[in-house]
Chain A
Amino acid sequence: MIQSMKMAFKSIAANKLRSFLTMLGIIIGVMALVVLVSIANGATSSVNDTISGLGSNLLTVTISDDKGEPLRLATLEDWEQESGVGQIAPYAQASVTGKYGATSDSLEIYGTTAEYADIQELEIELGRFLKTTDVDNNSYICVISKAAATELVGYEDCVGEVISLDGLKFTIVGVLEDDDTSLTSVFNSSSLVAYIPYTTLMRVSADVSSSITSFYVSAPKDGTMANTETAVTALLMDRFEDDDDAFEVSSQDVLEDTASSVTSVLELLLGGIAGISLIVGGIGIMNIMLVTVTERTREIGIRKAVGAGRRVILRQFLVEAIMICMMGCILGIALSWIMLQLITVVASSLAISFYLDGSVVLIAVAFCFAIGIIFGLYPANKAAKMKPIDALHYGG
């Protein structure tokens, strides 16, 4: 075996340019496979990160038919005590015109409770978030996004300032940090946002009443999302006459599942294309190996005359084909690594890291080995089957 490898190496080294050109097919194929799949992987994990950053630990509940038994703030407070349920934050939304001095801008306002900040993992930059007392007292206070602070008020440190929302005066009690991963920033990135007590929003907006139609639920610290979903669904079923059309409970998992199925299709597709180019490379190898076998017919005859059996000749040419494949594979992987480093640097603004995935490398190596065998076998067998006497007299 070692002899076969030595001989194969010698023969590859003897025809450097030809060997390299043959390898090129494999190199490009491996690079296509590794780079494309790694990019797909990087994109997948980046999408997954974004989605899980949206809060995979919360449920969104929307109620479409309250059956004359609308949910009140007090109901939700009761439910928070149920086992399996963490925090609950109702929310309602309205669009208003915000004014500060001479500036005015359109604002999205969310009416909610103190729990919202925890459930959505909002970070407070200055001041504080809503408190339960604010909700109880229908206070005219608001917590605004950093963008709202800079664009409407004109500066960030605006706690204590009073802004008007649709003509009503609200005191700013807190400014939020920018959060790139929050749902609002992903789907509504340009808008300015303010959070006010739910009860206050009921007075400001005609569309929002004391009956709550949307709320978020988080899991308790030591509980799982699945348990919470079961618990909340049970509570809702109980309340709404076992009619599961009256409400909808959705989790981020659905989004994650969809995204991952999309990206895995992408991965398969790219991998498939790369696989095709590897097969084309393999055909190149077969072609060159056939030429090599023909060229070396005399040599095969000599080897057979001095005692090489069929199997030894088969092994020699097979090892040579596999060796070309594996050398191409290693070069391809090395080049892929360099390329991924470059892409990561060039695409640094995307904040996606493209790394060489061990499993892709393994697949590439296994695939190359298989190609070496599949496309090396026919030429090697052709060499092995030659009659020594015909091979010896080949070409004179």
Chain B
Amino acid sequence: MIKLNNISKVYNVGDEAVWALDHATMHISAGEFVSIVGPSGSGKSTLMNIVGCLDAADEGDYRLDDILIEDYSELELARIRNVKIGFVFQNFNLIQKLTAEENIELPLIYQDLKKSERKERVALAIEKVGLEKRAKHLPTELSGGQQQRVAIARAIVTQPPLILADEPTGNLDSKTGGEIMDIFHELHDNGNTIVLITHDNEVARQAAKSINILDGKVSEVAL
């Protein structure tokens, strides 16, 4: 499903070129639960941004479902993100002035779906993350764990095959983190491809496959 081939990304910091990704190659098949582990600054966020079509690589090619991403325009990439990828961020990234429900509905709005169908799908996503009682609340009225559930609901509401999670438990206590991880396992059991980015080996071990990243270089480790 995900094929990265010799991907490089270079940032220029002053006169110095920093290789956030250094000829990284990796493959993730559909239905896998993969964790990408590395210390901060190792390039894992850059990797996630490229996999999530939020950023473009300087070198190499990236195929998502056998389509070569670099060939696509910004509008088409927005469409791919909308349909194929669900994002879960460490800091939740919810729009503060929208209610939980409205935040979850957001990706559907960009699909031009009918209101009734949107409502249906939002209700389904809310049910999956167990937030029925908090649907009308603003993010500021929700706990961290609840906010992350909203973010997960938003990620799965379009029923994308791929879920990209960047440190989803990073801002949560271990109990809540565990609950969030349970949701990911459930999604995995239902056939979703999960890519989990973390610096926490404990979390990483829950995945079936782990990919290490250090100084922009990628290496696969078996668990």
| Contact pick for B81, options A14, A305, A312, CB 8 Å | A305
Q: Which of A88-96, A160-168, A295-303, A339-347 contacts B (4 or more CB under 8 A)?
A: A295-303
Say how far B188's CB is from chain A's closest CB, in angstroms: 21
Q: Which of B52, B87, B95 has the most CB of A within 10 A?
A: B95
CA distance A299 to B79 in the complex (A): 18
| Contact pick for A306, options B74, B75, B106, CB 8 Å | B106
Any B CB within 8 A of the CB of A3: yes
Residues from chain A with a CB closer than 8 A to the CB of B94 are: 302
Write out, one digit per residue, whether chain A residues 352-390 have a CB within 8 A of any chain B CB (1) or not (0).
000000000000000000000000000000000001110
- Given A389-B49, A389-B54, A389-B55; A306-B82 close (CB under 8 Å): yes
CA distance A309 to B107 in the complex (A): 11
| Contact pick for B93, options A3, A298, A308, A309, CB 8 Å | A298
Size band of the B side of the interface? 20 to 34
CB of B74 within 8 A of CB of A3, answer no
CB of A392 within 8 A of CB of B75, answer no
Any B CB within 8 A of the CB of A128: no
Residues from chain B with a CB closer than 8 A to the CB of A305 are: 52, 54, 81, 87, 93
CA distance A305 to B93 in the complex (A): 10
- Given A3-B109, A305-B93, A306-B106; A392-B54 close (CB under 8 Å): yes
CB of B55 within 8 A of CB of A304, answer no
Say how far A11's CB is from chain B's closest CB, in angstroms: 8
Chain B residues numbered 44-96 whose CB sits less than 8 Å from any CB in chain A: 49, 52, 54-55, 74-75, 78-79, 81-83, 87, 89, 91, 93-95
CA distance A299 to B106 in the complex (A): 11
**Which residue of chain A has the shortest Cβ distance to B107 in the bound complex?**
A306
CB of B93 within 8 A of CB of A307, answer no
CB of B93 within 8 A of CB of A302, answer yes
Write out, one digit per residue, whether chain B residues 84-125 have a CB within 8 A of any chain A CB (1) or not (0).
000101010111010000000011011100000000000000
Any A CB within 8 A of the CB of B3: no
CB of A312 within 8 A of CB of B49, answer no
CA distance A209 to B97 in the complex (A): 93
Any B CB within 8 A of the CB of A72: no
Any B CB within 8 A of the CB of A239: no
Say how far B193's CB is from chain A's closest CB, in angstroms: 18
Chain A residues numbered 291-328 whose CB sits less than 8 Å from any CB in chain B: 298-299, 301-312
**Which residue of chain B has the shortest Cβ distance to A15 in the bound complex?**
B97
CA distance A389 to B78 in the complex (A): 12
Any B CB within 8 A of the CB of A10: yes
- Given A389-B54, A392-B54; A307-B49 close (CB under 8 Å): no
**Which residue of chain A has the shortest Cβ distance to B93 in the bound complex?**
A302
CB of A309 within 8 A of CB of B54, answer no
**Which residue of chain A has the shortest Cβ distance to B84 in the bound complex?**
A307
Residues from chain B with a CB closer than 8 A to the CB of A389 are: 49, 54-55
CB of A306 within 8 A of CB of B54, answer no
Any A CB within 8 A of the CB of B199: no
- Given A389-B49, A389-B54, A392-B54; A309-B79 close (CB under 8 Å): yes
CB of B74 within 8 A of CB of A302, answer no
Write out, one digit per residue, whether chain A residues 1-27 have a CB within 8 A of any chain B CB (1) or not (0).
001000000110010000000000000
Residues from chain A with a CB closer than 8 A to the CB of B154 are: 306
Q: Which of B49, B54, B87, B95 has the most CB of A within 10 A?
A: B54
**Which residue of chain A has the shortest Cβ distance to B49 in the bound complex?**
A389
CA distance A302 to B95 in the complex (A): 8
**Which residue of chain A has the shortest Cβ distance to B110 in the bound complex?**
A307
CB of A10 within 8 A of CB of B74, answer no
Say how far A306's CB is from chain B's closest CB, in angstroms: 4
Say how far A352's CB is from chain B's closest CB, in angstroms: 49
| Contact pick for B74, options A11, A301, A309, A396, CB 8 Å | A309
Besides the known contacts A3-B109, A305-B81, A306-B81, 8 further A-B residue pairs in the complex with CB atoms under 8 A apart:
A307-B78, A307-B83, A309-B110, A310-B78, A388-B54, A389-B54, A392-B93, A396-B91
> What 7 pairs between A and B have smallest CB-CB spacing?
A307-B82, A309-B78, A306-B107, A307-B110, A309-B75, A389-B54, A389-B55
22 A-B pairs whose Cβ atoms sit less than 8 Å apart in the complex = A3-B109, A10-B97, A302-B93, A302-B95, A302-B106, A303-B95, A304-B54, A305-B52, A307-B79, A307-B83, A307-B107, A307-B110, A308-B78, A308-B110, A309-B75, A310-B74, A310-B75, A311-B75, A388-B54, A389-B55, A392-B89, A392-B93
